[in-house]
Amino acid sequence: MRTGEAPIIVEQRFTASVDAAWNAITDADEMRQWFFDNIPAFEPEVGFETQFTVTNEGRVFPHRWKVIEATPPEKIAYDWQYDDYAGDAVVTFELSAEGDGTRLKLTYTVLEDFSDDIPEFERESGLAGWRYFIQESLKAYVERDL
């Protein structure tokens, strides 16, 4: 993705409380169940940093996240980079009560261009990935007991 492209925005409504959704997106034990199963730690506190590696089709992506905003239980944002690859982005999760459930709005904004020659960094790949994580995996996780 490039800085000139519009941010990726994915929204989803859950039949779950804001607190339940907040815990799912900020508690490392819960994040491992729907997001990345190897997140070593996560704290919804500004300045918290974590690192972990994801491998896809033989390519290794060392993720590096740093929390840059945290307003429990409404909003968390973190800087998202990969060691050994150019590019920088911010992912923001915003939660709001909606009827008997919760609306989540995810925004993925590129701050520094990612490489055009890596399929995982293409806009279509990012959009598909975020739709899967938010609209399928997270939704199934937070609504699992219904």
User: Side chain identity at 144, as an amino acid letter?
Assistant: R
Residue 1 covered by a domain:
no
Which alpha helices (H) appear in the chain, and where do they start and end? 18-26, 28-34, 123-131, 139-142
Residue 3 covered by a domain:
no
CB atoms within 10 A of CB 106: 21
Range of the domain at 133: 8-142
Looking up residue 99, the CATH number of its domain turns out to be: 3.30.530.20
pLDDT in tens, the chain (146 residues): 999 899 999 999 999 999 999 999 999 999 999 999 999 999 999 999 999 999 988 899 999 999 999 999 999 999 999 998 999 999 999 999 999 999 999 999 999 999 988 999 999 999 999 999 999 999 999 999 76
Residue 79 covered by a domain:
yes
Number of domains in the chain: 1
Residue 121 covered by a domain:
yes
pTM to 2 decimals? 0.95
Residue 2 covered by a domain:
no
Which alpha helices (H) appear in 1-142, and where do they start and end? 18-26, 28-34, 123-131, 139-142
Residue 26 covered by a domain:
yes
pLDDT of residue 4: 87
